[in-house]
Amino acid sequence: MNARGVALIGCGNIGINQHIPAWLERPNGYHLAAVADPDPRRREAARRVAGLAPEDALDGLDAVLARPDIGVVDLSVPPGLRLELVRRAAGAGKHILTEKPLATTPAAAEAMVEICRAGGVTFGVVHNYLFFPELVAARALIDSGAIGDVEVAILNYLGCADNPGAAEYIPAWRKNPEMSGGGVLMDLLHVVYVAESLLGRPIDAASAYVTARSHGGVEEIASCRFETRDAVALVNVGWGHGPGGIDVSGSHGRLAIRYRGGGTSPFAPFESLELTTPAGTTRIEVPAPTGFLSPVTADFTAALATGTRPAATGEDALRVLEATVAAYASAASGATVALPLDRADPAFTDGVLGLSRRPISPRGAVARLGLFGVSGQDPVPA
């Protein structure tokens, strides 16, 4: 398919404020041709930002698929809504870029991957933190052998802003596990794929602690341990005012990434990247960022133009989602969870909503606070 028109599906805050500006740069000749949303207020707001004609503000996917000039759909809708959209778009031969997390359950994510593979369409996922200049520089230093073999990565993202969704939709949808797939850890799944990137290999096992400031709903703080064969990442995320920053230690040195005021990226601006070895500490120069999502759309459209894979494929996103759900399963049971998940595991088929059918530790916050729908039932002994 050579059509270079792009349709943005979902005109929420992220779609309007991040996706539209990236597409307006016309990466590799691809251009925003339409926006679609069932809410007329949201699609009109998106149309105005995009500078499109009234007839390019559409009410749903049917209208998008009827447009032969559109070759790419960009899905910026809650993850619980994506499977059917992917099925229909891929069936129509459209290439697909979607927001993260890929789905609320690994089973739905795996179905999307298989659908796109069978349809012969490119399936990319917005793992935009991979393009943050300080993380690109850190990965390059690791690849160069500057710190030797990576042994431990510590990623603190405890000062994440708890931003609501669009007022015209459901502002608190990120705290509805059926729609979002979890709480702050799922919202900031970015940190899991960054951890995997810094470790340099897929995650083999996960363990975690989660808690919340009130009963019911989803977690607001998560502390996770993601293991590979030879290394570990300690990932701490939270909605609140805690510290941020990344430290990676290796057999011959370490890296330290810091953000202004000890804050959390991307809510606080980048401040420094330092390399420490037995020879001393060096501050590494890092280029300025080129846009929050611009590198993603540039990479995705370059992949379409050259027939190569985007930086984050559906398969990559499935693997990261599975590791994240394994962390939730560990937080519920109190036990380390190995990866990949068994395809019959309720955590795989139903994500956090399946935790009530797995072993649950009565002493953990999932049981005590009734998170993820566990409330009102006797925990299954772990």
Predicted confidence pLDDT, tens digits, the chain (382 residues): 578 999 999 999 999 999 999 999 999 999 999 999 999 999 999 999 999 999 999 999 999 999 999 999 999 999 999 999 999 999 999 999 999 999 999 999 999 999 999 999 999 999 999 999 999 999 999 999 999 999 999 999 999 999 888 888 888 888 888 889 999 999 999 999 999 999 999 999 999 999 999 887 999 999 999 999 999 999 999 999 999 999 999 999 999 999 999 999 999 999 999 999 999 999 999 999 989 999 999 999 999 999 999 999 999 999 999 999 999 999 999 999 999 999 999 999 999 999 999 999 999 999 999 999 886 455 555 6
- Gap between the terminal Cα atoms of the chain: 51
Look at residue 134 and give its three-state secondary structure: helix
Domain ranges of the chain: 5-126+293-308, 127-290+309-381
CATH architecture of the region 127-290+309-381 = 2-Layer Sandwich (3.30)
DSSP class of 327: H
Quick check: 211 and 365 in contact, CB under 8 A? yes
| Cα–Cα distance measured from residue 313 to residue 10, given in angstroms and rounded to the nearest whole number | 20
Please name the residues in contact with 353: beta carbons below 8 A apart, sequence gap of 6 or more: 104, 105, 177, 178, 372, 373
pLDDT at residue 381, as a whole number:
59
Q: In CATH, which of 3.65.10.10, 3.40.50.300, 3.30.70.890, 3.40.50.720 is domain 5-126+293-308?
A: 3.40.50.720
**Burial of 265 by CB count in 10 Å (0-12 exposed, 13-18 middle, 19+ buried)?**
buried
User: Tokens at residue 337, please?
Assistant: 């969870």
Distance CA 268, CA 324 (A): 24
**Can you read off the two tokens belonging to residue 69?**
């000039």
pLDDT at position 175, please? 86
The CA-CA-CA angle for residues 250, 255, 257, to 5°, reads: 145
196 Cβ contact list (under 8 Å, min separation 6): 202, 203, 226, 233, 319, 320, 323
pLDDT the model gives residue 91: 98
Residue-level pLDDT at 166: 82
* pLDDT of amino acid 169: 80
Contact in structure between 318 and 202 (CB atoms under 8 Å): no
* Number of C-beta neighbours around residue 372 at 10 A: 26
CB 106 within 8 A of CB 322: yes
